[in-house]
């Protein structure tokens, strides 16, 4: 099917994009990689009157560390993350995710920020961003604000972005030497959306006890879900087989999936536990904890 009629504006600077968004209000949508928006328009699930194309804005294509964060610009492609030596060496959870999103063709154009703004319940970046406690930077003609990922992901395909606003970057806290993470995804075949996914980020104290935990699951509810009860029981405890099993049980309880051609509710809830357990084992291994595999 062809999209409904729309106008198209190419923005060459952030100011140009913000002016276009301000003048068209809720009728305008930002076009980033187009990997979700264009199919949605072709199925007439989205009918924006105006597309504001931010792809020419070179200043939004960045991947850099700054002030304790990894900053990923709104025009930074998934592929740039996949091949980045910085990501490979310092951000294992993000590296895990970058090779599991869609397929190489989609990753050439799709963006992390676009994925977060789309907020597909089965999207991979929302899960990882929750575990990492990411922040998003939003700008409009009237200023800039920073929103935590928990507040940003409002509901299925709904975010905190207001009319006239755009996201300029997502920030992931830079892990210290005692922090590692991992991401797991179960898919029917390579390139498919997740049947279930899990991301885990753990900080170990010098005494071997966990001092920080981020646990999230994806494709298991109306949006990516934080497994807060698993985080609570992890912090203050020492890594163990029993602890992993308890955290996995919390993930099963938090999961709220629907049945579809990827699996039944019972199966998907079980997979929440399996994937959180795998992500925890890998994360502990990356932290040098032995004997939990």
Q: Which residues bind ligand FAD (CB under 6 A)?
A: 29-37, 39, 74, 101-102, 106, 110-111, 113-115, 117-118, 120, 123-125, 161, 166-167, 193
CB-nearer residue toward ligand FAD: 37 or 244: 37
**Shortest Cβ 28–ligand FAD spacing (Å):** 9
CB-nearer residue toward ligand FAD: 53 or 229: 53
CB-nearer residue toward ligand FAD: 125 or 183: 125
DSSP string, 223-245: S-EE-HHHHHHHTTSPP-HHHHH
CB-nearer residue toward ligand FAD: 70 or 247: 70
**Shortest Cβ 118–ligand FAD spacing (Å):** 4
**Shortest Cβ 161–ligand FAD spacing (Å):** 5
CB-nearer residue toward ligand FAD: 23 or 211: 23
**Shortest Cβ 196–ligand FAD spacing (Å):** 12
**Shortest Cβ 240–ligand FAD spacing (Å):** 32
């Amino acid at each position: 099917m062809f999209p409904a009629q729309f106008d198209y504006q190419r923005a060459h600077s952030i100011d140009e994009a913000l002016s276009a968004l301000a003048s068209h209000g809720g009728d305008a949508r930002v076009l980033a990689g187009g990997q979700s928006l264009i199919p949605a328009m072709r199925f007439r699930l989205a009918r924006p009157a105006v597309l504001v194309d931010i792809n020419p804005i070179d200043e939004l294509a960045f991947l850099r560390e700054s002030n304790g964060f990894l900053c990923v610009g709104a025009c930074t492609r998934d592929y740039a993350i996949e091949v980045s030596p910085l990501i490979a060496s310092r951000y294992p959870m993000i590296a895990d995710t970058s090779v599991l999103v869609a397929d190489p063709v989609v990753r050439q154009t799709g963006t992390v920020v676009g994925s977060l703004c789309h907020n597909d319940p089965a999207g991979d970046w929302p899960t990882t961003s929750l575990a990492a406690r990411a922040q998003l930077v939003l700008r409009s003609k009237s200023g800039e604000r920073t929103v935590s990922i928990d507040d940003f992901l409002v509901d299925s395909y709904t975010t905190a972005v207001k009319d006239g606003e755009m996201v300029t970057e997502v920030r992931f806290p830079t892990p210290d030497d005692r922090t590692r993470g991992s991401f797991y995804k179960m898919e029917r075949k390579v390139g498919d959306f997740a049947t279930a996914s899990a991301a885990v980020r753990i900080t170990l104290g010098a005494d071997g006890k966990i001092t920080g935990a981020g646990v999230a699951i994806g494709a298991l509810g109306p949006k990516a879900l934080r497994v807060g009860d698993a985080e609570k029981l992890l912090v203050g405890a020492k890594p163990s087989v029993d602890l992993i099993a308890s955290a996995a049980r919390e993930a099963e309880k938090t999961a709220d999936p629907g049945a579809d051609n990827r699996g039944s509710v019972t199966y998907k809830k079980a997979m929440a536990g399996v994937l959180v357990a795998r992500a925890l084992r890998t994360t502990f291994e990356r932290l040098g904890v032995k004997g939990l595999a």
